[in-house]
Every structure is written in structure tokens, then in C-alpha cells.
Structure 1
Amino acid sequence: MTSTRFLLPKENKTAYQKIAELDQIGKSGSINEKLQELIKIYASQLNSCVFCIDMHSKDALAKGEKLQRIIGLTSWEEASFYTAEERAVLAFTKEVTLIQQGGVRDETYHELQKYYSEKEIGELLILVGTINIYNRIGVTTRLQPKIDQ
């Protein structure tokens, strides 16, 4: 088992509070709560952040998301239980998260525009960007979830 290196909220409280404020902006937008959690889980899977995967999977379940859809996120392109809108968001999430692999393709962006306004795409970008910040903190500090009893 890997041990946590340090807790950023404790060591850099002000900076962490600013990240939390950005997170709150994303949460308070018009994007459906369940979809927000799917975004957070999927980005966290791409970044291998076990703490965030655990937390947001539990949050999604608490908000009524189906376990099958949470488990299926790693293979969403092959799964039939995501809508076209959700697929557009997951593709966007992947390309923003893996930005070094060529950025967000025009095709992905145009597909997103079928469902979302520019303002809403901005909200999606804030959601994806913020979870990526949290993932980088979690992975770097080796943050671990508590083991369920």
C-alpha cells in the first residue's frame, strides 16, 4: 500500500480554498449533477487518481447513478447505455484530460455544440479542468481513500 505524502489542504490552505471555489463554480452551473459525477469519475480514471475515483463513484451512486454506468466508463465508446450527449461530453473530457495528445479535435467540439451553448461548454471545461487539478494533487500526494468496512 502506498502512503500519503502530505495533505495539501493542510499545508497550503489558501491555495486549496481557491481550487474549491473554482470547483463550486463548476458545480453551480447548468450541467446535470449525475453527468458532472461521470465527468469526474472518467477524468479520474484517465489520471489514475484512486482517491477521486472512489469519492466520485460514491457521490454518483448517492445521486442515483447506476452502478453499471459507473463501471462502464472506462469502455464508454463500446457501451450502449450512454446517450449521444453523454458520449460527446465523455469524448470532450478525454481530450481535455489528455490534452498533450493533440488537444480537443474539431469533430469533438462540433459534436458538443449540438447539445450545449458556448456558456455551457465553458462550464464543462471548468468541470473537467478542476477535476484534473484535483487528480494531479491526489496522484502527486498519493492520497488514498479510506477502506470501506
Structure 2
Amino acid sequence: MNLRMNYRVVSPGAYKAMMAMEQYVSGQFEDKVLYELLKIRVSQINGCAFCLDMHAKDLMKLGDYSDHILLLSVWREVPIFTDKQRVMLELAEAITLISELGISTELYTKAGEYFSENEIVDLIMAINSINNWNRIAITTGMYPGCF
């Protein structure tokens, strides 16, 4: 594998802008497990090896979440995820695949049962942020250990 480009060096301003968004979004989440699950699931959907590796390792630093990582792609079929995590995962999938699935009123209403309006905005921003990171990493050829 070859890194196509180190965008951090080529465009430090773009990297700085992405990091500013990341710092804002990450600061909004008291539940770091929820935040890492979100980033892992979106990275799975997008096929981003670099981000998947990074965020799986970040989640493991928070405790033994190996079962959560191993079973995240089949979260609907296992009982280890909380109802709040399930709603977040469903929302993350719908936003990531928005052109295919859209966002149903039912899902939006369900999200409102577990998250305040401010928290829903934070989720939307976090989902969009990791989608951006995934697209940068995949396009520039990033892979685990490339830096």
C-alpha cells in the first residue's frame, strides 16, 4: 500500500479546519463510548481502514469493548448495545447513507426520546465529521500505520 498524499503537509489549513471541527464535536460528548461506537460504525460503512483501526483502539482504551467492536456491524442482532446506542447507530447509518435511506420521521422522533435537540445536533455534526475524515483518508490512500 502506498499513501497517495499526506494532505496534512500539502494543506495544513485544511487539516487545521478539520481538527477544529473534531475538537468541537468531541468536546460535546460526555459518553466517549457512544462517540467511539459512532465513529467505528460510520467507518465500517464507508470502508475506512485507517479510521476503523484508530477508533477501535481508542474504544479499547476506555475499557474492554472487544465484543462491541466485533459485533458492531450486526448491532441489531445482539443484546449488548443499549437502546440509546441503538438509536444513535441507526441515526449514524441513516445519515451516512442519506441518499439511500433518508431520515424518516419515525427515526427522528425515536432519536428525540433519547437525545435533546442540542444532542441531536451534536450527533449530526459528529456523524458528518467522521464521514469527512473517512473520505479524506480513503481518497488520499491512508491505511493503519501509514504515518
Deviation at 1:119, TM superposition (A): 0.4
Alignment-derived partner of residue 128 in structure 1: 127
- The answer on whether the counterparts of 2:29 and 2:35 sit within 8 Å (CA) in structure 1 is no
Distance 2:40 2:29 in 1: 19
User: After superposition, where does 1:1-149 map in structure 2 within 5 Å?
Assistant: 2-146=1-145
Distance 1:77 1:98 in 2: 17
- The answer on whether the counterparts of 1:31 and 1:120 sit within 8 Å (CA) in structure 2 is no
Distance 2:23 2:58 in 1: 15
- The normalised TM-score by structure 1 is 0.94
Deviation at 1:30, TM superposition (A): 3.6
Deviation at 1:146, TM superposition (A): 1.7
Task: Please give the per-residue CA displacement for 1:33-62, whole angstroms capped at 9, x wherever unaligned.
Answer: 111000000000000000000000000000
- The answer on whether the counterparts of 1:31 and 1:123 sit within 8 Å (CA) in structure 2 is no
- The normalised TM-score by structure 2 is 0.95
Give runs of ≥4 in structure 1 deviating > 2 Å.
none
Distance 2:60 2:21 in 1: 23
Q: What fraction of aligned residue pairs are identical, expressed as a percent? A: 33
Query: Relative to structure 2, which stretch is displaced further, 126-135 or 106-115?
Result: 106-115
SS of 2:77's partner is coil
Distance 2:122 2:31 in 1: 11
**1:141 partner amino acid:** T
Number of paired residues? 146
- The answer on whether the counterparts of 2:37 and 2:59 sit within 8 Å (CA) in structure 1 is yes
Deviation at 1:102, TM superposition (A): 3.1
Q: What's the C-alpha RMSD, in Å, of the aligned pairs?
A: 1.2
- The answer on whether the counterparts of 2:94 and 2:102 sit within 8 Å (CA) in structure 1 is yes
Question: Which blocks of at least 5 consecutive residues in structure 2 are unaligned?
Answer: none
Question: Which blocks of at least 5 consecutive residues in structure 1 are unaligned?
Answer: none
**1:17 partner amino acid:** K
Deviation at 1:134, TM superposition (A): 0.2
Structure 1's 123 and 65: CA in aligned 2 closer, same or farther, altered over 3 A? farther
SS of 1:64's partner is coil
Deviation at 1:73, TM superposition (A): 0.7
Structure 1's 32 and 62: CA in aligned 2 closer, same or farther, altered over 3 A? same
